[in-house]
């Protein structure tokens, strides 16, 4: 099971930006699709963005499209989520996830039937 460590959360004001990172160990990082999800208390975990293995085709939830950018640096075993124009509705715990199986071709973002490993989460709070 992969160990995933998120960083970069915090408290910001509406309109500000944040960049989250997710780092994992091992030498197979590039072979796995990666994703960001978020969750608020009392609600299900919500898909935010996903990036394919290797060069990484990207997918976004409609709620963040045009504001958030997912990327990966395979040399550093790190995935990023650049979040711009944040608003209070973006407040949540953000989790990174990695496909357990390598080389999955993504048809749609946030496919629920995919087995993933998860990080511990990082809190993002956006004040109005």
Place of tokens 């650049």: 82
Helices first, then strands: H and E counts in the chain: 0, 11
Q: Are 48 and 60 in contact (CB under 8 A)?
A: yes
Place of tokens 């953000």: 94
Tokens of 118: 């998860």
Give residue 120's pLDDT band: very low, low, confident or very high (50, 70, 90).
very high
What does the longest C-alpha to C-alpha distance in the chain come to? 42
Give residue 27's pLDDT band: very low, low, confident or very high (50, 70, 90).
confident
3-state secondary structure of 11: strand
3-state secondary structure of 26: coil
């Amino acid at each position: 099971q992969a160990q995933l460590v998120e960083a970069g959360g915090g408290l910001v004001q509406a309109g500000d930006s944040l960049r989250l990172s997710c780092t994992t160990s091992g030498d197979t990082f590039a072979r796995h699709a990666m994703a960001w999800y978020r969750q608020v208390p009392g609600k299900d975990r919500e898909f935010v963005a996903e990036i394919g293995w290797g060069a990484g085709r990207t997918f976004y939830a409609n709620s963040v499209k045009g504001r958030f950018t997912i990327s990966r640096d395979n040399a550093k075993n790190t995935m990023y989520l650049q979040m711009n124009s944040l608003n209070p509705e973006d407040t949540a715990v953000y989790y990174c996830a990695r496909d357990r199986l390598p080389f999955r071709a993504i048809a749609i973002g946030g496919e629920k039937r995919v087995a993933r490993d998860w990080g511990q989460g990082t809190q993002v709070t956006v004040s109005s």
